[in-house]
Amino acid sequence: MKCMLHRSLLLLYLAVITSSEILFLAVDLPLKGKRSPPNAIWPHPQEIQISNDLLYIRPGHIMISSNMEPCDIIAKAIQRYQPVFFPPKLTMHQPPADASNILRSLTLNVLDNPQCEQYTQYNSNETCNSVWGLLRGLETFSQLIYINEQNYVVINDSVAIIDSPRFQHRGVLLDSSRRFLPVPLIKKNLDVMAYNKLNVFHWHIVDNQSFPFESRTFPNLSRQGAFSSDHVYTPEDVTSIIEHARLLGIRVIPEIDTPGHTYSWGKSMPELITVCWANGKPYQAIYGQHGEMEILNPIEPRVHSTMDALLREVKSIFPSNYIHLGMDEVYDLCWRSNPNVSRWMTDNKINSTRDLHSYYANRILDTMRNISAITIVWQDVWDEKVELPPGTIVQIWKAGQGYNVILSSPWYINYINYGHYRTNTTIVNLEFFKYCEVEPLRDFSGSDDAKIRILGGEACLWGEFVDGTNLLARLWPKTAAVAERLWSAASVNNSEDAQFRLDVHRCRLLRRGIPAQPILNGYCGNYELSMPNSMINDPAFNYDISPATDLTTTTIKSNPATSYLFDATSSMITSIFASLLLLINITLVTISFKY
Domains in the chain: boundaries? 3-165+493-594, 169-258+302-487
Q: Give yes or no for a contact between 479 and 485, defined as CB atoms under 8 angstroms apart.
A: no
Query: Which segment of 67-81, 258-272, 423-437 scores lowest on mean pLDDT?
Result: 423-437
The residue count of the chain comes to: 595
Residue 176 to residue 68: CA distance in whole angstroms:
36
CA torsion, points 362, 410, 470, 200, in degrees to nearest 10?
-50
Longest Cα pair distance anywhere in the chain, in angstroms? 91
- Higher pLDDT, residue 368 or 1: 368
Q: Give yes or no for a contact between 79 and 564, defined as CB atoms under 8 angstroms apart.
A: yes
Dump pLDDT digits (tens) for 488-505: 999 998 888 999 999 999
The DSSP code sequence of 420-445 is: EEE-SS-EEEHHHHHHHT--TTTT--
Residue 421 to residue 225: CA distance in whole angstroms:
43
- Higher pLDDT, residue 98 or 125: 98
pLDDT averaged over every residue in the chain: 84
Q: Give yes or no for a contact between 577 and 105, defined as CB atoms under 8 angstroms apart.
A: yes
Residue type, position 441, single letter: L
What's the DSSP call for residue 330?
Answer: -
Give the count of beta carbons closer than 10 Å to the beta carbon of residue 580: 26
The class that CATH gives domain 3-165+493-594 is alpha beta
Dump pLDDT digits (tens) for 465-493: 999 999 999 999 999 999 999 999 999 98
Q: Give yes or no for a contact between 104 and 577, defined as CB atoms under 8 angstroms apart.
A: yes
Dump pLDDT digits (tens) for 227-253: 999 999 999 999 999 999 999 999 999
Q: What is the mean pLDDT of residues 506-529?
A: 94
Q: Predicted confidence band at 573 (pLDDT cuts at 50, 70, 90)? A: very low
pLDDT at residue 552 in the model: 37
Residue 51 to residue 281: CA distance in whole angstroms:
76
Q: What is the mean pLDDT of residues 414-424?
A: 67
Burial (0-12, 13-18, 19+ Cβ within 10 Å), 330: buried
pLDDT at residue 386 in the model: 75
Q: What is the mean pLDDT of residues 373-382?
A: 90
pTM of this structure: 0.89
Q: What is the mean pLDDT of residues 254-264?
A: 96
Q: Considering only CA atoms, which of 146, 240, 256 is closest in space to residue 524?
A: 146
Say yes or no: do domains 3-165+493-594 and 169-258+302-487 share a fold.
Answer: no
CA torsion, points 530, 534, 538, 543, in degrees to nearest 10?
-70
The class that CATH gives domain 169-258+302-487 is alpha beta
Catalytic sites, residue numbers:
329
Q: Predicted confidence band at 182 (pLDDT cuts at 50, 70, 90)? A: very high
